[in-house]
Amino acid sequence: MIIRFTKKNIELLIFLALAGIIIWLYAADFSKSRAVEFGVTFSQKYASDLHLDWQKTLTAMLDDLKIRKFRLVAYWDLIEKNKDNYNFADLDWQVKEIAKRGGQAVLVIGHRVPRWPECHWPDWTYRLSDAERADSILKLLKETVTHFKPYQNIMAWQVENEPFLKVFGRCPTPDNNLYKQEVALVKSLDSRPAVVTESGELSTWLRGGLLADNLGVSIYRITWSNLFGYFYYPLPPAFYYLKAGLVKLLTGVKVVFISEMQMEPWLPMSILATPLADQYHSMDLAKFDKNLAYVKRTGLSPVYFWGAEWWYWLKAQGDASIWNEAKKIWK
């Protein structure tokens, strides 16, 4: 019998192959639940946006939850409100408070860093040409690394946040040449690992793996968009486990970890503008526990949770269920 490989037949074969891979991933027990180190991302700006005292919020994470691993964010518009006038006081306070308790931090630096709108530019930068802004970004990186280099509890420098992601944030088209310069500059200034982060679901991770000492990836389970509304990613934990192994093999990167694990709702509006019932549609205690069990099976560590400020805000609204559940993680 002669099989004619028409376009329709090829499409069917590809579909069957993909379906087979997905079934195999779900059936295969590549990544049993195992011991994982957990931390959180802490954003001074996000805590303030939730009308929280950001210092009390971080202190509660340290003293009530007992968290000892953090991903901190150096916001350009807070550090350099006026050109060439750098103020690191707020970030110094964060790093020192964590150090007092024996904690560690990954410091995210650059112009595209965690939390909306992703690119956090000071007002004066909008008057610059692209070349002038690029020079200012490189100078920002140099000033930040030089200032924080003496802190022994900073374990790595994350250079920008998901710098290759085009579909999210109010940012210009990624400049890959500039980004390579940024990573090279940070590596030249200090021997601690340079971290590059990628979207867990919307990227191959290969570009990040080729540049990074350590590669961080995000995991989002329930998202929202104008096109799809709420969308649930039907990916098994083994997807991330196998993808990490493949990227290590192809790029030589040694460490792949989870830089953002969704533990708060993804909403079409701000938290403050969204009723609690709608927030719970995307994240509640049951989903929190489900995501915790899920991430333990990815085989990746450490894991930095995304949304600890929201847990604290939710507690202030009278619902301490997630905050109290989080206590068990670091008990």
3-state per-residue secondary structure call for 264-284: CCCCCCCHHHCCHHHHHHHCC
Closest-CA residue to 156 (of 199, 208, 198, 104): 104
Average pLDDT, rounded, for the chain: 92
Query: What's the CA angle centered on 260, arms 315 and 290, to 5 degrees?
Result: 60
- Using DSSP, state whether 154 is helix, strand or coil: strand
Task: Indicate the range of 7-16, 40-49, 103-112, 150-159 predicted with least confidence.
Answer: 7-16
- Per-residue confidence (pLDDT) for residue 283, from 0 to 100: 96
27-74 residue pLDDT tens:
555 556 667 999 999 999 999 999 999 999 999 999 999 999 999 999
- 227 located within any domain: yes
Is the separation of the CB atoms in 261 and 200 below 8 Å?
no
Q: What domain range includes position 167?
A: 37-329
Counting residues of the chain whose pLDDT is more than 70, the rounded percentage is 90
Residue 208 and residue 210: Cα distance in Å, rounded? 5
pLDDT of 5 above 60: no
228-283 residue pLDDT tens:
788 888 999 999 999 999 999 999 999 999 999 999 999 999 999 999 999 999 99
Residue type, 250: L
Structure tokens at 79: 């550090």
Give the position of tokens 């004619």.
4
More confident site: 77 or 226: 77
- 3 located within any domain: no
- 29 located within any domain: no
Torsion angle (degrees, nearest 10) of CA 148, 150, 156, 160: 20
Closest-CA residue to 148 (of 199, 72, 50): 72
The number of residues making up the chain comes to 331
Instruction: Please tell me what DSSP assigns to residue 92.
Output: H
Helices 130-148 & 176-189, crossing angle to 10 degrees?
20
Residue 245 and residue 249: Cα distance in Å, rounded? 6
- 15 located within any domain: no
- 12 located within any domain: no
CATH number at residue 149: 3.20.20.80
> Cis omega (within 30 of 0) on the bond before 117?
yes
Task: Count CA atoms closer than 13 A to 237's CA, side-chain side.
Answer: 21
Instruction: Please tell me what DSSP assigns to residue 71.
Output: E
Query: What's the whole-model pTM score?
Result: 0.91
Number of domains in the chain: 1
- 20 located within any domain: no
Residue 138 and residue 184: Cα distance in Å, rounded? 10
**List of residues 6+ apart from 39 with CB closer than 8 A:** 67, 68, 69, 70, 71, 302, 303, 304, 305
Residue 22 and residue 232: Cα distance in Å, rounded? 16
